Amino acid sequence: MRLDLVELDRAGTFLKSAALKGERLYAADDRELDAYEELIWAMEGDLLPIHRETLRELVDLIRVEAGR
């Protein structure tokens, strides 16, 4: 079994949400972690439109540079 250990307090929002899609091996307080997970999902939802726009701009830039 592969195990990735991530310190969520230091990770970016999208890494946090990716980590939450994995299997929870341990939590000192399940209720506290459940609340934290809800916060992360909300943060990801808030940032998702900005993230998508940034990706569109990056793809456009790559297309322009490739056409040179």
At 51 the three-state DSSP class reads helix
Instruction: Establish if 2 belongs to a structural domain.
Output: no
Instruction: Establish if 60 belongs to a structural domain.
Output: yes
CB 44 within 8 Å of CB 14? yes
Q: How many domains does the chain have?
A: 1
Instruction: Establish if 32 belongs to a structural domain.
Output: yes
The CA distance from 67 to 8, in Å, is 40
- Reported residue count of the chain is 68
- pTM, 2 dp: 0.57
Q: For residue 25, give its domain range.
A: 8-66
Instruction: Establish if 1 belongs to a structural domain.
Output: no
Q: What is the pLDDT of residue 57?
A: 92
pLDDT digits (tens, 9 = 90+) for 36-66: 888 888 888 888 888 889 889 999 999 998 8
Instruction: Establish if 56 belongs to a structural domain.
Output: yes
Q: In the structure, what pLDDT confidence band is assigned to residue 67 with cuts at 50, 70 and 90? A: confident
Instruction: Establish if 54 belongs to a structural domain.
Output: yes
